[in-house]
Structure 1
Amino acid sequence: MDKILAKNRKARHDYHIEEVYEAGIVLQGTEVKSIREGKVNLKDSYVRVEKGELF
């Protein structure tokens, strides 16, 4: 599936973005259903870099 299901648009407003990465997330059971129904919220989400990998 190449469709973008969620995007944190507010991050560009609240922060100065120096680099952009595209990533996937591991979902479980009901999370998949909720996202497909458009019930997703990325507010307060973040990523950290450890040894060159993003978590």
Structure 2
Amino acid sequence: MAQRLPGPPPLELVGIADREHPRVVRALRFREEVRVWEADGGLVLLTAGGS
């Protein structure tokens, strides 16, 4: 596992609950847990579970 870098992240990540974004909808088809953050210029998705 990679070690975390020191200091705050270089981008501000804002947690969102939007389940209608196409990438979130697709991730939910294959994964049980989907967490989403919005950053300048895009989304960050972390998932767990699924097949």
Is the structural similarity TM-score above 0.5?
A: no
Structure-1-length-normalised TM-score: 0.25
Structure-2-length-normalised TM-score: 0.26
Larger helix percent: 1
- Of the two structures, which has the highest relative contact order with CA contacts closer than 8 Å and spacing of 6 or more? 1
